[in-house]
Amino acid sequence: MAVFVAEGLPTHMARQLASGQWTSKLGKSVDIEHELHALAGERYGEVVRVLARPVAPSSSPRATLSG
């Protein structure tokens, strides 16, 4: 999660997708994908913190290469 802050107050959070892009909900039903700092500016402020947690291992079996 990325936390955006403007004038000392949190204004927005974005979530990172597996693709590396970020996703945000803008309004009641508008979801967008974007680069991390694409929303930075007067309305949402700046990214001040990126929160991370370990990625859970995949539950699907891994393919193996045979040579």
Q: What is the mean pLDDT of residues 44-67?
A: 76
Q: Which backbone phi and psi does 18 adopt, to 5 degrees?
A: -60, -25
**Does residue 63 have a pLDDT over 80?**
no
Token representation of residue 55: 């990625």
Q: Note the pLDDT of residue 57.
A: 74
**Cα-Cα end-to-end distance for the chain:** 40
Range in 1-5, 23-27, 53-57, 60-64 with the lowest mean pLDDT: 60-64
Query: Residue 39: helix, strand or coil by DSSP?
Result: helix
pLDDT tens for 7-24 read 999 999 999 999 999 999
pTM of the complete model: 0.75
Strands, sheet with 31-34, edge to edge from the N-terminal-most edge strand:
31-34, 22-25, 9-16, 2-6, 46-50
What is the percentage of the chain residues whose pLDDT exceeds 90?
69
